[in-house]
Chain A
């Protein structure tokens, strides 16, 4: 067994401990409104065909929303970080827009985009945009001045500098932003389905809660979490492949 797998396996103890605590708490409560992991597992078994169908819808929207945010916000963040004056002046704007709670902007978005997929994707993209923009902006804002000098002395145009210097050196922090953005696009995908319910896991959860089948709702959510785990594992892989220069550079060579 390699060191990595050992760490992975021992690490599993943490979530298992939490599951155990949850199970104990559920057994103490004895009400269908507080199901334990066991009940949720049974509910997964009972509901998985429906869940899988709804899950696809939820995920698709999350992916589209995230993608939209990524292709717009990473370039924008780099632009604002590099063209410092504009970035500094617009900082409060970022804070203002970032603070609006999705439940409060949903009615507003609905006015322009309706209640269908369009509206939900817009809201998801909005939620994913914030961490991506902030991390990209801060990263490109704090690139070591030496690299800017290299770029200028090699006569890179502004655009080339952003693409060839700012983007790669910001990647480690963008990756963190992307992790946050992935989580929040899944979360908001579900939330938007709960608030503008038509279909998807959020609607399934909402309906389950309203008819007091909490375990079924959580079963649906468990799948969202699973999707989160899988996507994050993928991001981890990408980080290893693309950012080794950042992390290997840093670690004392063994």
Chain B
């Protein structure tokens, strides 16, 4: 039979690496999928692409598809690629510059804070962490700035603190001029159990009609993840090829994977929804089951 078509719109992030690697290696073709990957600027654009039927599957942080669904775009999440868990497997940080004088979360009051997009994980992160010291977004000044520009903004004093990810976090750490201070880590303050950090999602209709394709996708992803986790050279090669890392930077690169399983449950989403409601990003109440299509692969 002819290969099933599969278009994936994605927001460039390290947990997508296995997919790009699998594409390069021809694993999708082997599985009978004719896959195509399109990079899109920002999670919301990924949701638009999926809603328009221009992409079958989207990859983004969980908040954009959640927001999309809340606003009438019928998408459901069916796989998660990475998770965070305390203490050492966290992939998001709140960092302040030395010059800002900020030493801890409480010091952020009245300062200029940055994040990469409205209504994204970074906003949730700021809200959740600030709530632990009794601050809200009204107590700070916000600037939305793409990740790559944040370090310079911190150093030039245009930002006092920001939400960042790798490789930018690592770069800030190595910048002596910046004197970066890490004031928090992890998307939510409470990370005693693994928290989903991203999601593959699709429209309800597509999922209903293409369960087979979704499973094949999961299987290919699984294969690629395992291969990369096992083979350091392959991983570094992929990081250089697809993420344009320098070979040196690739040496310290690792995939943000905690759970071997990629299955999403209603409970996974519910944690995020609760945090959104608690921090005022949404009035609530919200039911996690609505947002998920559990996929057994």
Q: Is there a direct interface between A and B, measured as CB atoms under 8 Å apart in the complex?
A: yes
| Residue positions of A touching B, CB distance < 8 A | 31-33, 106-107, 110-111, 114-116, 195-198, 203, 206-207, 209-213
Is B29 close to A, CB under 8 A?
A: no
Complex contact B51–A33 (CB within 8 A): yes
Indicate whether A212 sits within 8 Å of B73 (C-beta atoms), given known contacts A110-B158, A206-B118, A207-B119: yes
Name 15 interchain pairs, CB-CB below 8 A, sorted by A.
A31-B51, A33-B51, A106-B149, A107-B148, A107-B149, A114-B153, A115-B145, A197-B118, A198-B143, A207-B118, A207-B119, A209-B44, A210-B64, A210-B117, A212-B44
Is B120 close to A, CB under 8 A?
A: yes
> Per-residue 0/1 for B113-127: is the Cβ within 8 Å of any A Cβ (1 yes, 0 no)?
000011110000000
> How many Å lie between the Cα of A32 and that of B47 in the bound state?
12
| Residue positions of B touching A, CB distance < 8 A | 42-44, 47-48, 51-52, 64, 67-68, 70-73, 117-120, 141-146, 148-149, 152-153, 156-159
Complex contact A110–B120 (CB within 8 A): no
Complex contact B152–A110 (CB within 8 A): yes
Q: Which of A31, A197, A198, A207 contacts B73 (CB 8 A)?
A: A31
Smallest Cβ-Cβ distance to B51: which chain A residue: A33
> How many Å lie between the Cα of A87 and that of B159 in the bound state?
41
Complex contact B71–A196 (CB within 8 A): no
Smallest Cβ-Cβ distance to A30: which chain B residue: B72
Q: Which of B119, B157, B159 contacts A211 (CB 8 A)?
A: B119
Smallest Cβ-Cβ distance to B115: which chain A residue: A197
Report B70 CB to chain A, min CB distance, Å.
8
Report A159 CB to chain B, min CB distance, Å.
40
Indicate whether A32 sits within 8 Å of B149 (C-beta atoms), given known contacts A197-B143, A211-B67, A212-B67: no
Complex contact A114–B73 (CB within 8 A): no
Specify which chain B residues have a CB less than 8 angstroms from the CB of A209 in the assembled complex: 44
Complex A-B, nearest 5 residue pairs according to Cβ-Cβ distance, in ascending order: A197-B144, A212-B71, A32-B72, A115-B158, A210-B118
Indicate whether A212 sits within 8 Å of B152 (C-beta atoms), given known contacts A31-B73, A32-B71: no
Report B30 CB to chain A, min CB distance, Å.
35
Complex contact A33–B144 (CB within 8 A): no
Complex contact A213–B156 (CB within 8 A): no
Indicate whether A110 sits within 8 Å of B73 (C-beta atoms), given known contacts A210-B120, A212-B44: no
Complex contact B73–A33 (CB within 8 A): yes
Smallest Cβ-Cβ distance to B64: which chain A residue: A210
Specify which chain A residues have a CB less than 8 angstroms from the CB of B157 in the assembled complex: 114
Report A74 CB to chain B, min CB distance, Å.
32
Specify which chain A residues have a CB less than 8 angstroms from the CB of B153 in the assembled complex: 110, 114-115
Q: Which of B42, B52, B146, B148 contacts A33 (CB 8 A)?
A: B52
Smallest Cβ-Cβ distance to B48: which chain A residue: A33
Specify which chain A residues have a CB less than 8 angstroms from the CB of B52 in the assembled complex: 31, 33
Specify which chain A residues have a CB less than 8 angstroms from the CB of B44 in the assembled complex: 209-212
Smallest Cβ-Cβ distance to B120: which chain A residue: A210
Specify which chain A residues have a CB less than 8 angstroms from the CB of B144 in the assembled complex: 196-198, 203, 206
Specify which chain B residues have a CB less than 8 angstroms from the CB of A110 in the assembled complex: 149, 152-153, 156, 158
Interface centre among A33, A107, A210, A211 (most CB of B within 10 A): A210
Report B28 CB to chain A, min CB distance, Å.
28
Report B200 CB to chain A, min CB distance, Å.
19
Report A194 CB to chain B, min CB distance, Å.
9
> How many Å lie between the Cα of A196 and that of B117 in the bound state?
10
Specify which chain B residues have a CB less than 8 angstroms from the CB of A195 in the assembled complex: 145-146
Report B149 CB to chain A, min CB distance, Å.
5
> How many Å lie between the Cα of A213 and that of B158 in the bound state?
29
